Copies of this chain bind each other. A is one copy, B any other.
Amino acid sequence: MKIAIALYPEFTALDCIGPYEVLSRIPGVDIEFLSAAGGPVRSDTGALTILTERKLADVPNPDILLVPGGPGDETAAGDPRMLEWLRRAHDTSKWTTSVCTGSLVLGAAGLLEGLEATTHWASYDRLAAYGARPVARRVVRQGKIITAAGVSAGIDMGLELLAEESGVDFAQGVQLAIEYDPQPPFDAGSPSKAPRHVLEMVRSVFETMRPKSSATA
């Protein structure tokens, strides 16, 4: 079982580290972080650098591929090395997955046309622009394509996929091993649950961060 996580500059770290932590426990799994150019890849905060030892092109046929989201999604969606790799890897993959705005990169590769998919709640319109049908669910599965909602949703997706691959007992064992018994101090993690003034505050921050092209996309 080969898992490839496709990084790009300005990815969001938790998007990929959540499912990585879960899926890396599949017995005998070979999980690898890759990037178009290889070498160090800096996350969206600028404070975290992950070293990718090989390039996307070095691993053309992973069993599972995962694309995280992040402010760099548009750069990734415009990189032919990423798009060509995605199309080719998806041809033979068992599972093609994304977290957060990683689904926009899948969309740019033409993989989501006519399919239900999800993304970060602030980016449904950008997902629709790629011909997908945005769904406000935490994990959306269409055949072998699984898309997860914003950032932390990748942990839930990872567990769902792990149960599929290694059985429910094993997945529950990993949930216990990573003590994933969430107890957030607030219940504000979705637009329907957050206080309205918090939602407006976050929405306005995201508005200022939107890629300029998305107004016309």
Contact = CB atoms under 8 A, between A and B. Distances in A.
A135 interface: no
Number of copies of this kind of chain in the complex: 2
Contact of A50 (B50, B156, B189): B50
Nearest to A201: B173
Q: Which of A49, A152, A201 has the most CB of B within 10 A?
A: A152
A56 to B, nearest CB: 16
Contacts of A124: none
Nearest to A151: B178
Interface in A140-162: 149-153, 155-156, 159-160
Contact of A17 (B13, B100, B149, B198): B13
A181 B153 CA distance: 8
A216 B193 CA distance: 49
A173 B160 contact: no
Query: SS class of chain A's interface: helix, strand, loop or mixed?
Result: mixed
Contacts of A53: 49
B138 A183 contact: yes
Contact of A155 (B20, B184, B186, B205): B184
A14 interface: yes
Interface of A: 12-14, 17-18, 20-21, 24, 30-33, 40, 45, 47-51, 53, 100, 120-121, 138-139, 149-153, 155-156, 159-160, 163, 168-169, 171-173, 175-191, 193-195, 197-199, 201-202, 205-206
23 contacts: A13-B20, A13-B21, A20-B45, A33-B48, A40-B51, A49-B53, A50-B50, A100-B179, A152-B178, A155-B182, A156-B185, A159-B185, A160-B185, A169-B195, A169-B198, A172-B188, A173-B201, A175-B184, A176-B189, A177-B202, A177-B205, A180-B189, A181-B187
Nearest first, the 4 A-B pairs at minimum CB distance are A150-B179, A181-B189, A172-B188, A182-B182
